[in-house]
Amino acid sequence: MTAYVLILDDDADVATAAQLLLRRRYDKVATLCDPAGLPALLAQGVPDVVLLDLNFTPGFIDGAEGLALLDLLRPQAQPPAVIAMTAYADVPLAVEALKRGAGDFITKPWDNARLVAAIDQALARRAALRGPTAATPELMGESAAMRELKALIASVAPTEANVMVLGENGVGKELVARAIHALSRRAAGTLLAVDMGALPESTFESELFGHRKGSFTDAKADRAGRFQAARGGSLFLDEIGNMPLAAQAKLLTALERREVTPIGADKPEAIDVRIVSATNLDEARLFDPAVFRPDLLFRLNTIVIRVPPLRERREDIPLLLAHYLNLYALQYDRPVRNVSAAAMDGLLRHDWPGNVRALRHACERAVILGQGAEFSLGDFGLGAGAAALDDGEDFIASPGVAVAASARATINGSVSGSTSGSGSGAIAGDMTLDALEREAIASALAQFNGNISHAAKSLGVSRAALYRKLGKHGI
């Protein structure tokens, strides 16, 4: 991991032991046994993390020397994250160190896994506090995959090329669109997002191209369409893969002619927008003419950006955890807590089928429900034997579950009804609750030709909830 860690401890053996442990994980690990040399070292470069002993003079245990060094580190332009260390578990001293700017407190001898976890979390908190860059707003991550993504965005954004963003549910496709707009020559204009899958086919033209007063029932005034409203800016067409083929033809005509005709208008209006589109469709399906028109695809995918799923950039998980845990701690007025070493290991191993969106929801759950001094894996809904699903929703099944229970109740996570028999894990036909839920989702998607918005409405859930269920069942 790219990080500069400084171990400041008067005991050379302790400092060397820590250095041997940490240099296998971080690319630069330095030691300093005499605090008098700290100003000169800082002049050469400020560390990312400092492991700071609080006592240097033999016989002194009040921590005054370490606290004075904290006062020296805090005024730096980009102050390091500080983890205070002492052989004496003195609670008042720990509190004072935290007040002076330390982010964590560890007693010696330390547990190796605990120390590494504390450093990882300190690095993540420091990055989160520094905030997202203006170049790529809210796109958090320093992994090789994210650096490559940001570089591609920076290269493509200043052009006028249409961009198609591909990626699984929850990876942040809209954030990529916003980053492209922020770096483009149209940044001073509007970025208007449109959920194409949620547009009813009957109002498609009115929503996108506008209409004139009196052109149809309830058209009580002229209305600009999305293309006109985004003039001079960018239009983000989300869920582009869920558009019916007939609507795709109308969109293609507008893009080819660079003009739209509002409903009831006598002549077309020129459009001046840059198109950024996004879909979670598998690329093989995207190139299926029965699903998506090839001529429209070639209009939209001049540049293709593929956003990596979270499981392919696990090294970004600590940063994302720190950001969302701090965000929700502030939102819900809860104390800021660390993630235990065991929990961090579990979170890093988890495949996150819902990607960053699922991680964000798990963090919100942990902040609300967590009670311990540190967050455990169970706080995130991922503990062994936990009933919670990846999306944080539980099934609540009564002892008797009717075969005819509605798909809407099933997808919402609760099934009601009565039968003459009893059972807790299965229903008639040997279908488990999971199997029934999966069948309900698949049936709804088939009924609406893969349109997420329409399927979610028919099942009585939000699109976000349906996305999480899709990830859970691998649909």
Report the distance separating Cα 111 and Cα 374, nearest Å: 15
pLDDT digits (tens, 9 = 90+) for 370-397: 998 899 999 999 854 333 333 333 322 2
pLDDT digits (tens, 9 = 90+) for 307-325: 999 999 999 999 899 889 9
84-88, 184-188, 425-429: the lowest-pLDDT one:
425-429
Residue 144 CB-half CA count within 13 A: 2
Report the distance separating Cα 344 and Cα 326, nearest Å: 16
Beta strand segments in 140-264, E = 163-166, 191-195, 210-211, 223-224, 234-238, 259-260
The answer to whether 247 and 198 are in contact (CB under 8 A) is no
Report the distance separating Cα 318 and Cα 141, nearest Å: 9
pLDDT of residue 127: 67
For residue 356, what are its two tokens? 């960053």
* Phi, psi at 359, each rounded to 5°: -65, -40
DSSP 36: G
Report the distance separating Cα 250 and Cα 354, nearest Å: 32
**DSSP SS3 for 154:** helix
Residue 17 CB-half CA count within 13 A: 12
Name all domains of the chain by residue range, CATH numbers in brackets. Answer: 4-130 (3.40.50.2300), 144-308 (3.40.50.300), 311-380 (1.10.8.60), 396-473 (no CATH)
pLDDT digits (tens, 9 = 90+) for 53-79: 888 877 677 778 888 888 788 777 678
The answer to whether 51 and 8 are in contact (CB under 8 A) is yes
Nearest to 181 by CA among 191, 171, 173, 170: 191
Judged against a pLDDT cut of 70, whether residue 25 lies above it is answered with yes
Nearest to 244 by CA among 467, 453, 457: 453
Report the distance separating Cα 342 and Cα 377, nearest Å: 7
Report the distance separating Cα 243 and Cα 271, nearest Å: 21
- Mean pLDDT across the chain: 80
The answer to whether 11 and 57 are in contact (CB under 8 A) is no
Task: Please tell me whether the peptide bond between 109 and the residue prior to it is cis, using omega within 30 degrees of 0.
Answer: yes
- The percent of residues above 70 in pLDDT, for the chain, comes to 82
Report the distance separating Cα 255 and Cα 271, nearest Å: 9
Q: How far apart are the first and last CA of the chain?
A: 34
pLDDT digits (tens, 9 = 90+) for 215-239: 887 778 888 889 998 999 999 999 9
pLDDT of residue 379: 94
pLDDT digits (tens, 9 = 90+) for 272-295: 999 999 999 988 899 999 999 999
Cα dist. 331→34, 71, 335, 408 in Å?
A: 42, 29, 11, 32
pLDDT of residue 6: 94
In one-letter notation, the amino acid at residue 198 is A
For residue 49, what are its two tokens? 């993390």
pLDDT of residue 433: 65
Report the distance separating Cα 363 and Cα 343, nearest Å: 12
